[in-house]
Structure 1
Amino acid sequence: MLAAPAVPAHASGDEVHLAAALRGANEVGAPGDTDGHSTVVLRISGNEVTFAARWDRIGTPTAVHVHLGARGADGDVRLGLLTTPPPSSARGVTGTVRAGNDLVQALVADPAGFYVNLHDAAHPKGAVRGQFHRLSKPVDLGGVLHGGDQATLSSQAGGGRHVPGGDADGRAVWWLRPGGSSIAYTVSWSGLGRVSAGRLHKGAPGRSGAVVADLFAAARGLPENVTGVAGVTPVSAGVAERIAAKPDAYYTNLHTLDFRGGAVRGPLSGEPFTHPRALTAEVLRGSQIYACTPLPAGGHGFTQLGVTARLRRGIDHSFVTPGSGPPQWIAPDGSAVRGSVVTRTPNGGHIPELVLDAAQAGAGTGLLAHATQILRLNTTGGTAPAGACVPGTEARVPYGADYVFLG
């Protein structure tokens, strides 16, 4: 197996990206949420730490913290990313906090010595947890906020488009996906005070219209450091269908504590567009495949031949060529990527965790078409059988993992 090249050291002024895949099974000292998971990415630039967190199957987070502590160890909070609950419909947030020089240097030098913890009301000690890994290239945090599905509608919002008035300094970008009895939304903003609500209205340009969907609300305003939120909100029968059929009859409206009637507004557009995405897909069933081959020191032992796995969302994982690779992931829509290992992190008696660079190898659009990096995290099982073996035999060892596709 080829050795992984070293990741360059941090230089002053450079951006460093760290990522973690969080699971309840990683919690220490108190049980976590057995079904929940989350992806968190940090972008560190000087003393600014910009974060994106996306979660699923846990309660509304009450806090998101960075702790000092290696895998399996409990540690103190060193940085609060989110310290108040987001809106109940939210599934993700972005924002920025400042950190001291010592903490920044420690995070960059030893990411695996820190973990991120999402807390909720049912799990005050922590619902899901994950250790940090350093990425080999930048990541668009907007994609992490949004998740894996392509949005179908968009909106560019500004204060000058609001009726009446609005925040002249504010801007917002919306991505939406109406369908069935819900609307999935992602919005990021700049130049605004504390955001208190996001809504969809029906109305022609230049005119105020009735609210058709309350996407999210925070009566006291979101924390000032939060700059984006994503989620899913239920809507009445037929609302999503009507919006999807005639989007230009509707507009987005973002409210703040200073502009309670609306700070920035923008018309909905159904024009095709692309946007960054991020996807976490766990192994539903999979095996690491080993072959009994001659060893350099003499005798025979099991060495990697390949892998076979089915991931959530119907993604198939295998080697392009048995015995030599590279690893590949193929989605049902024809999008595909191949990976090359950048770093390996030992994980006790399990196969190592990996950071891989991704090369596109399939359709130009689709589930994996955004991916430039792949992480194999939260690994279980999968290690090669020990001891002597019969030449020519194979062994298939079941394993589990979360694969994170970032772009």
Structure 2
Amino acid sequence: MFDTKKKRFAIAGAVAAAAITAAVVPMGMAVAGHTNVVLEADLTGRAEVGTSNRLAGDPNGRGEAYVFGVDGDPTTLCYVLTVDKVGTPVAAHIHEGAAGTNGPVVVNLAAPADGNAADCLTEGEAGKFVGDQTVAEILADPGSYYVNVHNAEYPGGAVRGQLAVER
């Protein structure tokens, strides 16, 4: 089910990144293809980490996230986020933390209220990057970060997925 959505939103994200790149690259300067890595995360309720041995996230929930930088702009991070089979999301974040551990929020993402969200965020943008985390740090060490989506039923996180270089 996600394959069609995934492709559509990945294309939309790539188009958004290309538009931003075109806006920041001076006229006459050649850009020969995308050089930033694309990170992905498969989101599931089973990946959420709670304080007990019982399932912390939504057992039916699932989703996918794609995170990538913008060529020529090392301070901008773009993402495409889709979720399914979860109650209406109220928040989404990138957290710092290894698989199996919880960690602090480092980037606030748009809640995918209709199941989809996508945007590009720039370091220093009010309310988006939390603390002193940089785009370069996230892209360089994706395994140290995860994406999760919260809703009213699962305020600690309905679905979660560790970032990794796209397969």
Question: Which category describes the TM-score, using the shorter chain as reference length?
Answer: 0.5 to 0.7
Could you tell me how far apart the structure 2 residues matched to 1:176 and 1:268 are?
8
Q: Which residue of 153, 156, 168 corresponds with 2:39? A: 153
Q: How does 1:71-82 map to 2 (within 5 A)?
A: none
Deviation string, structure 1 residues 222-261 (Cα, Å, up to 9, x no partner): 2xxx221111123346510101111101111111122121
**Secondary structure, counterpart of 1:181 in structure 2:** strand
Offset, 1:217: 4.4
Partner of 2:20: none
Q: Which residue of 139, 142, 153 corresponds with 2:9? A: 142
**Would you say 1:250 and 2:140 are equivalent positions?**
no
C-alpha spacing 1:261/1:202, structure 2 compared with 1 (3 Å): same
Offset, 1:145: 3.9
**Would you say 1:208 and 2:102 are equivalent positions?**
yes
Partner of 2:49: 163
C-alpha spacing 1:241/1:193, structure 2 compared with 1 (3 Å): same
**Secondary structure, counterpart of 2:98 in structure 1:** coil
**Would you say 1:198 and 2:83 are equivalent positions?**
no
Q: Which has the higher helix share?
A: 2
RMSD: 2.2
Deviation string, structure 1 residues 34-87 (Cα, Å, up to 9, x no partner): xxxxxxxxxxxxxxxxxxxxxxxxxxxxxxxxxxxxxxxxxxxxxxxxxxxxxx
**Secondary structure, counterpart of 1:248 in structure 2:** helix
Q: What letter matches 2:99 in structure 1?
A: P
Q: What letter matches 1:163 in structure 2?
A: V
Q: What letter matches 1:193 in structure 2?
A: G
Offset, 1:270: 1.7
TM-score, normalised on structure 1? 0.29
Q: Which residue of 270, 274, 292 corresponds with 2:165? A: 270
Partner of 1:230: 118
Instruction: Give the gaps of 5 or more residues in structure 2.
Output: 18-33, 51-55, 125-131
Instruction: Give the gaps of 5 or more residues in structure 1.
Output: 1-93, 95-139, 274-407
Q: What letter matches 1:198 in structure 2?
A: A
C-alpha spacing 1:232/1:172, structure 2 compared with 1 (3 Å): same
Q: How does 1:2-81 map to 2 (within 5 A)?
A: none
Offset, 1:205: 1.3
**Secondary structure, counterpart of 2:57 in structure 1:** coil
Offset, 1:144: 5.0
Which one has a bigger Cα radius of gyration? 1
C-alpha contact 2:111 2:117 (8 A) present in aligned 1: no
Offset, 1:143: 4.1
Greater relative CO (CA pairs within 8 A, separation 6+): 2
Q: What letter matches 2:81 in structure 1?
A: V
C-alpha contact 2:106 2:133 (8 A) present in aligned 1: no
C-alpha spacing 1:263/1:176, structure 2 compared with 1 (3 Å): same
Q: What letter matches 1:266 in structure 2?
A: G
Partner of 1:49: none
